[in-house]
Structures are given as structure tokens and as C-alpha cells.
Amino acid sequence: MTIIIEKPDLDLQIMEQKVQEEPRELVLDAGFKVQKSVTNTGFDAPEINSFGQSFRDYEAESERKETVEEFYRLQHINQTYDFVKRMREEYSKFDRAEMSIWECCELLNEVVDESDPDLDEPQIQHLLQSAEAIRKDYPDQDWLHLTALIHDLGKVLLLPQFGGLPQWAVVGDTFPLGCAFDESIIHHKYFKGNPDHNNPAYNTKNGIYKEGCGLENVMISWGHDDYMYLVTKENGTTLPPAALFIIRFHSFYPLHTAGAYKHLMNKEDEENLKWLHIFNKYDLYSKSKVLIDVEEVKPYYMSLINKYFPTKLKW
């Protein structure tokens, strides 16, 4: 893998300031209570996470609760339309690394999970657990297996060579910018501190968008989802549109769980959302103690990587 030496940083001064404030221990895929259940696909869902609590149960007595709330306070204040625009421009240079998908999976293992309340295994386990669970239930959708494997690779943004972004700019639930913040967004009250909240161009239901404009045209808060979407697109993947949709919107809980922002969707989004709903169950429930033997499944995933991606990607 070639890691390109990082340039002295962009105009991220605001962020660097914030990095200091950032709690070191954190959140993740956050916000909605999830009932213990078996999914309608027949996939057995573990009932509790690695910490002995229900998945995404942030109301549970949890040492992490305050940290999670503080995380969302920072996220809601700092994720503005302009911020996302700058991040997209900066990361669209793809000048940080050249590496294969598998190299990135291994690199992500360095991001040990302080950031997810449901997870204390290395990231590669979460990726493979999701992918293997989907593979079992949807054996013919190989693109979906690979999508699961790569959906969180954008978390490399936390590593120094990818800018060492603060948690609020990498993980957590995502939401659109350029239109009103929907009430269903977790810890909505903190948007009061977001400059966009008082901007008349951005604070109406449609904001800068037209109804039915399609989510592809909507700016979404910056994080591992949008970054991996850009990387995947830039490197000419042959994965279907539904895969790109899953990658970009898998943390968009206000849409896929609360049903908000549907007025911005077009026909294609409606089709893609069905796949995202399927994917999401595996993203949540596969965070379990069942460890996957990496070497055993690696050849299968390498064959999918070779089918859908070039050998080296620009990151």
C-alpha cells in the first residue's frame, strides 16, 4: 500500500480547534431504539451487544450516554452546508493514498472501536459479520456481500494519514444540509447552535432543493458514508446503483428508519431504499461476538473485489 504523505492541512482550522474538545470515547451508528427480534429474513439477531445492552439503546443506563450526547452536540453545531461543501472538495482530490479494497479493510483494523456503543471487536469483524450474514440469506446477490464488506471503509478518515478528522465528521447518524433539520434527527435541539438553522435559504422544508429532485443531488452531512461513496464512484466500480446508495445513506437514520425527507426522493431512490432497508438489519445485528475466520473467507471476498473494483484505488 502506498500512503501518500499528508499535506499541511486545508482550511480546517475550525475543525482542529474542535479536535481538542472532542471526547476520545464515542458513539456510533446512533439514535433509535431497536427491539430485540428476529428479522423477517430469518437471520438470527443477537439480542444484546458486546456490552450487554440492547442495540442502539441510548436511553439505557450507559456510561456512554453523556458522551454520545456530547458527540451529537458537536456534530449538529459543526455540520453545515459550507462545511460539507469544503470537505467534498478537499476529499475529491483523492490524493491521500493508493491502495486496494482489502488493504483498506486491514488498515481499518487500526481504528479500534471506541466509536460504537454496540461494538468492541476490530472493524474487519463487523464488516465480515455483516457480509457473511447477508451472504447466507441472499446468496445470489454477490454485489450486496461486497457492499457490506466495504460500507464502513470510509472510517479511515479518523486516521492521521486521512486527515485525522474528529469523530463528529466521520461517524454518527447523517442528515441533509440545505434544507430544514427534521425533528426526527437524534438530539435535534442542538441544531439551534448551527448557523444553517437560522439561514432562510436553508431552513425551509425544501430549502435549496425541489421536491422529488433525487437524493443524489442532496448534500448530506460529511462522514465515512459520503467519503466512501465518493471513493467508490471515482474509482469506476461496476457495483450497481443500489450499492452506491447503501454506502452513501446507510447512516441516514432520519430517512431509512424515521421516514423523513422522502419528499426529496425520486423513483430510483424508492427502489434503492428497499435494498437499504434490507442492508440495515445486517449492519445493526451482525455486531456480535461470533468471530469470523478472516483467512477462510478472504478468497471469496477477494474474488468479489476483483470483479467489481480495479486493483488499486485512489483515496
Site string for Fe ion, 268-307 (x = CB under 5 A): ---------------x------------------------
> Among residues 57 and 283, whose Cβ is nearest to Fe ion?
283
CB contact at 8 A, 148 and 43:
no
DSSP H/E element including 314: strand 313-314
Q: Is residue 172 annotated as involved in ligand binding? A: yes
Calpha distance 290→107 (Å, rounded)? 21
CB of 226 to Fe ion, least distance (A): 11
> Among residues 130 and 237, whose Cβ is nearest to Fe ion?
130
CB of 155 to Fe ion, least distance (A): 7
SS3 for 55-109 is CCCCCCCCCCHHHHHHHHHHHHHHCCHHHHHHHHHHHCCCCCEEECHHHHHHHHC
Q: Is residue 113 annotated as involved in ligand binding? A: yes
Calpha distance 293→295 (Å, rounded)? 6
Looking at residue 310, what DSSP letter applies? -
CB of 147 to Fe ion, least distance (A): 11
CB of 130 to Fe ion, least distance (A): 6
What separation in angstroms does the CA of 153 have from each of 24, 274, 290?
20, 22, 21
> Among residues 150 and 265, whose Cβ is nearest to Fe ion?
150
CB contact at 8 A, 172 and 251:
yes
CB contact at 8 A, 152 and 226:
no
3-class DSSP state for residue 43? Answer: coil
Calpha distance 135→139 (Å, rounded)? 5
> Among residues 269 and 283, whose Cβ is nearest to Fe ion?
283
Q: Is residue 262 annotated as involved in ligand binding? A: no
Q: Is residue 267 annotated as involved in ligand binding? A: no
CB of 57 to Fe ion, least distance (A): 17
C-alpha cell at 31: 439514535
Calpha distance 264→212 (Å, rounded)? 4
Contact region for Fe ion (CB under 5 A) — 144-152, 174-182, 203-211, 272-280? 144-152
Q: Is residue 224 annotated as involved in ligand binding? A: yes
Out of 152, 196, 226, 269, name the contact with Fe ion by CB under 5 A: 152
CB of 31 to Fe ion, least distance (A): 13
> Among residues 45 and 202, whose Cβ is nearest to Fe ion?
45
Q: Is residue 251 annotated as involved in ligand binding? A: yes
Q: Is residue 250 annotated as involved in ligand binding? A: yes
Residue 113 interacts with Fe ion (CB under 5 A): yes or no: no
3-class DSSP state for residue 177? Answer: strand
Give binding residues as ranges.
Answer: 56, 113-115, 126, 151-152, 155, 172-173, 224, 250-251, 283
Contacts with Fe ion, residue ranges (CB under 5 A): 152, 283
Give binding residues for substrate as ranges.
Answer: 56, 113-115, 155, 172-173, 250-251
Give binding residues for Fe cation as ranges.
Answer: 126, 151-152, 224, 250, 283
